[in-house]
A and B are shown apart, each in its own frame.
Chain A
Amino acid sequence: MRLEPIDKPSLARSLLPPVTALGATVAIASFLAMLAGANPFSVFGLILNGAFGSKFAILETLNRATPLIFTGLAVAVAFRAKFWNIGAEAQLYAGALLTVLLGTGLLPWPSIAILPTLALFSILAGAILLLVPALLKTRFGVDEVVTTLLFNFIFLLFVSMLLEGPLKDPMGMGWPKSARLLPEARLPRLVDGLRLHWGFGLAILSAISVWVVQSRMTLGYEMRAVGLNRQAAAFAGIPVNLVLVKTALLSGGLAALAGFSEVAGLKGSLTLDLSPGFGYTGIIVAMLALLHPLGVIFAALFVAGIFVGADSMSRAADVPTYLADIMLATALLLMVLAIMLTRFRIVRN
Chain B
Amino acid sequence: MEVLEIFFTASFWAAVIRISTPLIFATLGELICERAGVLNLGIEGIMVAGAFAGWMAVYSGTGLWVGVCVAMFVGMLFGFLHSLLTVPFGLSQHVVGLGVTLLATSSTYYAYRLALPEVTSPPKIDAFQPYDIPILSEIPFIGPALFSQTPFTYLAFGLVLVTSVVLYRTPLGLAVRAAGENPAAVAAQGLSVTKIRMGAVIIGSGFMAMGGAFLTMSAFDSFFFEMVNGRGWICIALVVFGSWRPGKALLGAVLFAAFDALQIRVQQTSFGSQMPYQVFLMMPYLLSILALIVMSRRAEVPAALMVPFNKGER
Contact = CB atoms under 8 A, between A and B. Distances in A.
Interface string A137-156: 00011110111011101100
A329 B278 contact: no
B103 A1 contact: no
A283 B96 CA distance: 11
A272 to B, nearest CB: 11
A287 B85 CA distance: 15
By secondary structure, the A interface counts as: helix
Interface residues of A, number: 45
Interface string A203-218: 0000000000000000
Contact of A161 (B41, B233, B278): B278
Given A150-B237, A325-B106, A332-B95, 16 more contacts: A2-B312, A32-B110, A150-B234, A150-B289, A153-B230, A154-B286, A157-B282, A158-B282, A322-B110, A323-B110, A325-B102, A326-B106, A329-B102, A330-B103, A336-B92, A349-B311
A158 B313 CA distance: 48
**8 closest pairs, A vs B, by CB?**
A325-B106, A329-B103, A320-B113, A329-B102, A161-B278, A322-B110, A157-B278, A333-B99
A332 B99 contact: yes
Contacts of B286: 154
B279 interface: yes
B279 A161 contact: yes
A141 B103 contact: no
A333 B85 contact: yes
B89 interface: yes
13 contacts: A86-B98, A142-B293, A149-B233, A150-B234, A150-B285, A151-B285, A161-B278, A287-B95, A320-B114, A329-B102, A329-B106, A330-B103, A333-B96
Contacts, number: 125
B24 to A, nearest CB: 18
A166 B311 CA distance: 59
Interface in A286-336: 287, 320, 322-323, 325-326, 328-330, 332-333, 336
B171 interface: no
Contacts of A287: 95
Contacts of B154: none
A157 B113 CA distance: 27
Contacts of B229: 153
A340 interface: yes
B114 A3 contact: no
A147 B291 CA distance: 11
A145 B41 contact: yes
Interface string B104-117: 01110110011000
A1 B282 contact: no
Interface centre among B105, B106, B107, B240 (most CB of A within 10 A): B106
Contacts of B105: 325
A142 B285 contact: no
Interface string A163-175: 0110000000000
Contact of A337 (B89, B113, B234, B237): B89
A136 interface: yes
Interface string A57-99: 0000000000000000000000000001010000000000000
Interface centre among B98, B279, B311 (most CB of A within 10 A): B98
B292 interface: yes
Interface string A1-33: 111000000000000000000000000000010
B16 to A, nearest CB: 21
B12 to A, nearest CB: 24
Contact of A140 (B278, B282, B293): B293
A330 B106 CA distance: 10
B289 A147 contact: yes
B109 A320 contact: yes
B102 A280 contact: yes
Interface centre among A2, A143, A149, A337 (most CB of B within 10 A): A149
A160 B99 CA distance: 28
A36 B297 CA distance: 50
A322 B278 CA distance: 29
A164 B292 CA distance: 30
Interface string B192-211: 00000000000000000000
Contacts of B95: 283, 287, 332, 336
B6 interface: no
Contact of A333 (B103, B113, B114): B103
Interface string B231-259: 00110110010000000000000000000
A36 B313 CA distance: 46
Nearest to A152: B230
Contacts of B278: 157-158, 160-161, 164
Contacts of A337: 85, 89, 91
